[in-house]
């Protein structure tokens, strides 16, 4: 990818379990964002964390950021079948362009 890697590439869990996906990026950032993509559709913004923040919560989502390691993680708690989608992290190194990671495909089995 243009920006970095995410792992795992694919994750399959049971409904009710937690899902954790990780993102690594290459350059310094202003903020890091996570997006969700349902199959064959556009992306939807989930959460934004700024470079001076270490952790952020939004509903069942928890995002952490470690700028020293250039990495971030997204935790979805108590997953639901409707959470099945691909998840991407995105950064804007220059403040004007957004680059996306390779994505994690999450499958939540009912």
Partner 1 sequence: GAVVSQHPSWVICKSGTSVKIECRSLDFQATTMFWYRQFPKQSLMLMATSNEGSKATYEQGVEKDKFLINHASLTLSTLTVTSAHPEDSSFYICSARDLGIFNEKLFFGSGTQLSVL
Q: Which residues bind partner 1 (CB under 8 A)?
A: 1-2, 31, 33, 35, 40-45, 48, 88, 90, 96-103, 105
Question: CA 66, 78, 21 angle in degrees (round to 5)?
Answer: 30
- Shortest separation between residue 16's beta carbon and partner 1, angstroms: 27
* Residue 61 · residue 47 · CB < 8 Å: yes
Q: What one-character-per-residue DSSP string does 60-82 give?
A: TEEEEEETTTTEEEEEE-S--GG
Query: Whose Cβ is closer to partner 1: residue 35's or residue 63's?
Result: 35
- β-bridge pairing 19-25 and 71-76: antiparallel
- Shortest separation between residue 9's beta carbon and partner 1, angstroms: 9
Tokens of 105: 């495909």
- Shortest separation between residue 5's beta carbon and partner 1, angstroms: 9
Query: Whose Cβ is closer to partner 1: residue 101's or residue 106's?
Result: 101
- Shortest separation between residue 98's beta carbon and partner 1, angstroms: 6
Query: Whose Cβ is closer to partner 1: residue 11's or residue 15's?
Result: 11
Query: Whose Cβ is closer to partner 1: residue 77's or residue 102's?
Result: 102
User: Whole-angstrom Cα distance, residue 6 to residue 83?
Assistant: 18
């Amino acid at each position: 990818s243009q920006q970095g890697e995410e792992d795992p590439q694919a994750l399959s869990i049971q409904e009710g379990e937690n899902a954790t996906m990780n993102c690594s990026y290459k350059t310094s950032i202003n903020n890091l964002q996570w997006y969700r993509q349902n199959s064959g559709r556009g992306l939807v913004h989930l959460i934004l964390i700024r470079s001076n923040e270490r952790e952020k919560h939004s509903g069942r989502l928890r995002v952490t950021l470690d700028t020293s390691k250039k990495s971030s993680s997204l935790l979805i708690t108590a997953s639901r079948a409707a959470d099945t989608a691909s998840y991407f992290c995105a950064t804007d190194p220059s403040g004007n362009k957004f680059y996306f990671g390779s994505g994690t495909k999450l499958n939540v089995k009912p």
